[in-house]
Structure 1
Amino acid sequence: MIPEESRFEEDPVELVPDPPGLPADWSVDSPDPADRADVERLTTLLRAHERHGRGWAGASVDDVLVEVSERGLRTRQNVVVRDADGLIRAWGSVHDRAGGRMLFVHVVERDLPARTADACSDVLVEWAVGQARAVGEARGLEVQQIDTGAFEGDERQARWLTEGGFAKVRTWWQMSRPVTAEEASLVPDPALWERKGVRFRQVRRAGGGMPDDEDLRDVHDVLEEAFLDHFNSWEETFDEFLHRLREDPGHRWDHWWLAELLDGADDGAAPQAVGALVGTVSESADGPDGSYVSYIGVREAARGRGVAKGLLRTIIADAAGRDRDRVGLEVDADSSTGADGLYTSMGWVTTYVTESWHRDVPVAPADQA
C-alpha cells in the first residue's frame, strides 16, 4: 500500500543538525522541485556522475523529477548540500522501495577539493542512516536495509561507501544488444503470437487506453514468484509495484507483455500466466531511442519451455518495428541461474558494470537497542 504521507523525516536539519566538516558558510537543505535552477543543477551533477563512472551520461531532467517532484515525495525524500552562494554541490535521495529495502542515491560533485567532498559524503550518509531509521520505524521494522550502488572502478565512491559502513554485495552486468530493421519480423506480431503451446501478448487495454487490472496483477504475481529466490528479493505489494513502475519516464503500457500456457485450452481450461516482461523506452538526445527490459520473469513450473526466449524475441521485434536501434537489460553477474548465457546467445554484450552496496541499520538508535 502506498502511504498517504511520506514515512521519511522531511527536515534534513533534524537528521544532520551539525554537518560534519563542511565549510562554515555551507548549508544542508532540501531541493526545490519548482525551482528550475535546482532541477537543472541536480541533472548536471547526476550526468557528471554517470559520465565519470561509465563514460557517458544518460540521465535527463525527467529522471531527476522522479526523485524530487511533489508526486514522488510520498515514497522518496531528498537532501542537498549548498555552498555559500546557494549552489548545490552534493545530492542524496532515498526511496522507500519495499518493506525492509530503502534505495539511496549518493552524488557528490566531481571537482570539489578532497576534504570538502569527503565532508559532503559524510553528510549524505548520516542523513540516509537517519532516514533508514525513520522509515524503518514507520514500517515497524527492527532493521532497515540501505541499498545503494556504484560504477565498477569508481574508487572514490567505493571508499566513501566503505567508510560509511556499506559492504559490496553484488555485481551487475549492464548489457545491450543492437537491433536491425529486419528483426521486426522476428515474431509474427509483438502484440500477439503463439509458439508450442505458449501465447505471448501485450497486456489488454480497456476503454480509454488503460490496461486491464487482472493482467497487471498477473504481471505482478508472476514477477514476485519468479524473483522469490533471487538475490535481495523483497516482497512488494501490487500498489507499490505499480506506483514505482509508472514513475519511470520511459514507462509505456504497450511495453508490458504476458506469456501464457495454453495447455488444456481445447478442453476449456483458462490460459495460465507463466511469464512476464516489463519494458521501457530508453530515450536518446542525439540518436534513435532504445528499448529496455526492466523486468523479465518466468514461473519455475514453466521454465525450459522457451518462455523467456520468446519474451525477449518479442521485445526485440517490437523495438525494430519502432525504428529503435538497441535493447538493454541488467543481469546479476553472481547468479547461478545461467540467465547471462541466454542473453549472450541472443546477442547481448556487457557495456559497463555496476555494484550493489548494502548497509543494515538498526531502527532503534544504538543507545536504545
Structure 2
Amino acid sequence: MTGRPASPASTRTDHGRPPTLPGWSAVVPSTAEVPGLTALLRRHELAARGRAAATERDVETSVAGERSDLREHLVLRDEAGVPRAWATVHDRAAARVVISVVVDPDLERAVADPIAADLFAWAATAASDLARGRGVVETQMDSGSFEQDERQQAWLEAAGYALTRTWFQMSRPVTAEDPAPAAAVEPGTGLAVRSVRRGEDGMPEQTDLRTVHDVLEEAFTDHFNYHPETFDQFVTRLREDPGHRWDHWWIAEITDDEGDTGPRPAGALVGSVALGDGTGSEGSYVEYLGVLRSARGRGAAKALLATVIADAAERGRDRVGLEVDADSPTGAVDLYRSTGFVTSYVTQSWHRDLPVTP
C-alpha cells in the first residue's frame, strides 16, 4: 500500500500550494510511509534536541491509529520518493488544533524555508476547515519547538505564531531504594492512593474512569491553555497512546473526613509506559497529575507522585518522566525538583489565533 497523491478534489490535501521542486510529490501518508517518516522525525530530533527518540509505533499511531481520523497529514517526497517534510493538523479540542511541521534538517535553508512556509500555510487552511466544521468563529493553532531550534522558531514567527509558554521536560532516576507502592503515602495525611478498579472482565470500572476525567477537568481549569474535553474524547485519546496501560491510572482520596458515600476524590494521576527509542530500558511517564482546588495543600500531588515512582521501581524501570509548565502557578516545578526530578530539555509552545471565515 502506498500513499495516495494529493488531489485538488480532496478536502484533506487541497489546503495549500503543491510542491514547486522538480520531481517532488505531495501525498497523504499511509502505513507504507511510516519507516520513512520515522527516519525523518528522528533526523529532526537529533538536529534540534541532540538525541532522537521517535519510534515507528509512535508514527504509525499518528498516521493510522484508532483516532487518526482526527488528524490530517501532508507529506512531501523528493524525486527519489524519500519523505523530506511532513505537516500534521490534529483536531485536539473545540477551538484548538495542534500543528506539527517537520522539515528535513539536511535540506539547505534556501530549499527548507519555502517548504516550511507552504506547509504552515496548508496547516492554517486545514485548521480553518476543521474549525468551521466545529462551528466556531476562531480557533487556536498550537505548535511547538525545542528551545535550541532557532530554525523552527523562525518559521513559526514567519507564519504568525507567538511564543506563549516554556515547558520543562523532566526526569528522575528510579532505583531499588525507592519505597514500595504501599509505603508511598505518608501516614497521618488523611489520604489514600489506589489504582482504578477493574471489573471481572479485566477492564477498568467506568465510574473510576469518569472520576479521573472529572478530577483532571476541574483541576486544570485554572492552568495555562485549558480546553475542555469530553469523557469519550479523553479516554479514546489516551488509549491511542502506544504506552497506554490501565494499571497506570491512580486516584488519591481523602479518608479522614469521609461523607456518606465514603472517601472523596482529591486528585488523579494518569501514567504510561515510556518506551523510549527501543535501544534502552522502559520507564514510566506522567501524562497527567491534577489535584482538586478544594484538596490542595494536603499532599495529594506528592502522594500520587510517590506512588508512580514506587510503581516504576517495583516494575524494574529506571526512570520516571514528566512535562511541567515552567511558570506553573501551583508550585509544581518546586515539588518535582524536591523529589529528585531534573530538567532533561526544554520545549516551547507557539500559538496563533486564526479567525474562521465562512
Q: What is the deviation of 1:358?
A: 0.7
Write the distance in 2 (CA, Å) between the matches of 1:65 and 1:151.
Answer: 22
Aligned length: 349
Q: How high is the TM-score relative to the length of structure 1?
A: 0.90
**Equivalent residue number for residue 6 of structure 1:** none
Tell me if structure 1 keeps the 8 A contact 2:13–2:74. no
**Counterpart amino acid of residue 27 in structure 2:** D
Write the distance in 2 (CA, Å) between the matches of 1:70 and 1:290.
Answer: 23
**Equivalent residue number for residue 29 of structure 1:** 27
Write the distance in 2 (CA, Å) between the matches of 1:10 and 1:324.
Answer: 46
Q: What is the deviation of 1:197?
A: 1.7
Write the distance in 2 (CA, Å) between the matches of 1:253 and 1:70.
Answer: 18
Write the distance in 1 (CA, Å) between the matches of 2:317 and 2:171.
Answer: 13
SS of 1:28's equivalent in the other structure is strand
Tell me if structure 1 keeps the 8 A contact 2:168–2:346. yes
Q: What is the deviation of 1:286?
A: 2.5
Q: Compared with structure 1, are the counterparts of its residues 167 and 25 closer, same or farther at alpha carbon in structure 2 (3 Å cutoff)?
A: same
Tell me if structure 1 keeps the 8 A contact 2:156–2:162. yes
**Counterpart amino acid of residue 199 in structure 1:** A
Q: Show the 5 A alignment for 1:193-204.
A: 196-204=189-197
1:47-103 CA-to-partner distances (Å, cap 9, x unmatched) read 111112222111111110121005332211111111123221100111111111111
Q: Compared with structure 1, are the counterparts of its residues 147 and 60 closer, same or farther at alpha carbon in structure 2 (3 Å cutoff)?
A: same
Q: Compared with structure 1, are the counterparts of its residues 317 and 81 closer, same or farther at alpha carbon in structure 2 (3 Å cutoff)?
A: same
1:211-235 CA-to-partner distances (Å, cap 9, x unmatched) read 0001000000000100001100000
Structure 1 stretches of 5 or more lacking a match?
Answer: 1-8
Tell me if structure 2 keeps the 8 A contact 1:12–1:127. no
Q: Compared with structure 1, are the counterparts of its residues 175 and 24 closer, same or farther at alpha carbon in structure 2 (3 Å cutoff)?
A: same
Tell me if structure 1 keeps the 8 A contact 2:12–2:126. no
Tell me if structure 2 keeps the 8 A contact 1:78–1:94. yes
SS of 1:207's equivalent in the other structure is coil
Write the distance in 2 (CA, Å) between the matches of 1:11 and 1:218.
Answer: 38
**Equivalent residue number for residue 6 of structure 2:** none
Q: What is the deviation of 1:11?
A: 4.1
CA RMSD of aligned residues (A): 1.8
1:259-301 CA-to-partner distances (Å, cap 9, x unmatched) read 1112444x74421111000001111423221101110000001
**Equivalent residue number for residue 246 of structure 2:** 253
Structure 2 stretches of 5 or more lacking a match?
Answer: 1-8
Write the distance in 2 (CA, Å) between the matches of 1:294 and 1:338.
Answer: 18
Q: Compared with structure 1, are the counterparts of its residues 178 and 15 closer, same or farther at alpha carbon in structure 2 (3 Å cutoff)?
A: same
Q: Show the 5 A alignment for 1:174-213.
A: 174-185=169-180, 187-188=181-182, 196-213=189-206
Write the distance in 2 (CA, Å) between the matches of 1:217 and 1:189.
Answer: 27
Q: Show the 5 A alignment for 1:1-369.
A: 11-16=11-16, 18-19=17-18, 22-33=20-31, 35=32, 38-69=33-64, 71-185=66-180, 187-188=181-182, 196-265=189-258, 268-284=260-276, 285-364=278-357
Write the distance in 2 (CA, Å) between the matches of 1:350 and 1:10.
Answer: 43
SS of 2:59's equivalent in the other structure is helix
Write the distance in 2 (CA, Å) between the matches of 1:70 and 1:330.
Answer: 24
Q: What is the deviation of 1:314?
A: 0.2
Write the distance in 2 (CA, Å) between the matches of 1:286 and 1:25.
Answer: 36
SS of 2:160's equivalent in the other structure is coil
**Counterpart amino acid of residue 32 in structure 1:** S
Q: Compared with structure 1, are the counterparts of its residues 289 and 85 closer, same or farther at alpha carbon in structure 2 (3 Å cutoff)?
A: same
Q: How high is the TM-score relative to the length of structure 2?
A: 0.93
Of all paired residues, the percent bearing the same amino acid is 51
Write the distance in 1 (CA, Å) between the matches of 2:211 and 2:152.
Answer: 39
Write the distance in 1 (CA, Å) between the matches of 2:24 and 2:353.
Answer: 30
Write the distance in 1 (CA, Å) between the matches of 2:12 and 2:111.
Answer: 19
Tell me if structure 1 keeps the 8 A contact 2:13–2:28. no
